[in-house]
Amino acid sequence: MAILHIDGDGFFASCEISLNPKLKGKPVVTGQERGIATAMSPEAKALGIHRGMPIFEIKKLFPTAVIVNSNYHTYGMFATRMYDIVRRFTERVEEYSIDECFAILEDKDREHTARLIKTTLGRELGMTFSVGVAPTKVLAKVASKWNKPDGFTILDNSSIHDFLKNLAVGKVWGIGPQTSHHLHSLGVVTALDFIERPERWIRENLSSPMLETWYELKGTPVYKVHESDDIQKSIQKTRTFPHTSEKKIILSELSHNVEGACIHARRDKLETKRIYYFLKTQEFRYKRCEIPLDVPTNDPMTILSLVQSTFDTLYKSGVEYRATGVTLSELRPTSLNQTDLFGEVVKNLKLKKIFDVVDKIDRKFGTGTVSLASSLTSVGRRHLHPTRRLNLPFMGEVV
């Protein structure tokens, strides 16, 4: 068994080029509506344009750049298509974010399957993807980043050491700038330096998550691929927003994610037994939390209260964040509800009546007509940054 990581190259910009082939070969930049670059084509990167660069500066220094508004609804449709293609080859897929996913490959010819997935994605979506195959999630993630764009890197236990000796410790997934600086001060410069330190040293000098990263880099799996048997076993909602460190705004974005996911679940008469949510920093680093539920629900207030109770374990004051996401997993039909000892199911049934009315109003006047108060900050900010709407055509084979 091996873990595959797929990462869309300059995903937002690539979606724009796929929709408008006239942009192919041009320095395309998304993020006009936010005032900063969010994704770039290879040609834009070659000019020196980077993520987070102010749009006004790009226009001044690089007048040939084609700058467009972002359309996250369209990008989400491309992402869904990406997940569907990967599931043709393996059902064991984790929809990690809008431009990347993990999958488990069980067949013996893993390299052939991984290359076939990569080729199929490129042919049908009209863009390039970078792929990493390795024994663990962390190794697969760093492998996919190694030869971007359009890269393919496969690691096995015999090649891990040679790979890690050329990998800066700060490039490891989960090791942020502060931890990297701390490791440098302790003489740890490469990922190989890191795994060659004894376990006791890791425990004494670093936080507990770094021990998990240490195991993963050594080829010992710690992080599971959160797979689903089919696409209806999970519902994911993500949002990208102008970067901010303000806690209230980030929680409001999460609240909007939760509401959207629950609307989807109620529409399909499903409830969740386990939720995941993540925060994505301006430096594109992820923090993730998993919450099991005693009683299944599709009530956004119940889920949001759990998110709020664990939020401070992920959020750090002063850090700039740019995206949030929520996944409802272990879904089951609402008809499977049974009476519980503490009356939670009865309480959920009462809330169901309330949200039945909310859903009727939304169907008549539009989704989001009735919203949780905790989502209003998010909705208000989104109105200040309108995006254009595109009709996504059929994405068959691209020739």
Rounded CA gap, 184 and 176, in Å? 12
Rounded CA gap, 212 and 215, in Å? 5
Catalytic residue (one of 43, 100, 253, 259): 100
Residue 135: phi and psi, rounded to 5, are: -70, -20
Rounded CA gap, 226 and 133, in Å? 17
100 part of the active site:
yes
Q: Which helix (H) or strand (E) holds 323?
A: strand 321-329
249 Cβ neighbours under 8 A, 6+ residues apart: 241, 377, 378, 381
Query: DSSP 3-state assignment of 233?
Result: helix
Pairing of strands 39-40, 28-30: antiparallel
Residue 54: phi and psi, rounded to 5, are: -60, 140
Rounded CA gap, 256 and 238, in Å? 9
Residue 353: phi and psi, rounded to 5, are: -60, -40
Rounded CA gap, 220 and 12, in Å? 33
Rounded CA gap, 145 and 245, in Å? 27
Residue 195: phi and psi, rounded to 5, are: -75, -15
Rounded CA gap, 343 and 354, in Å? 17
Active site residues: 100
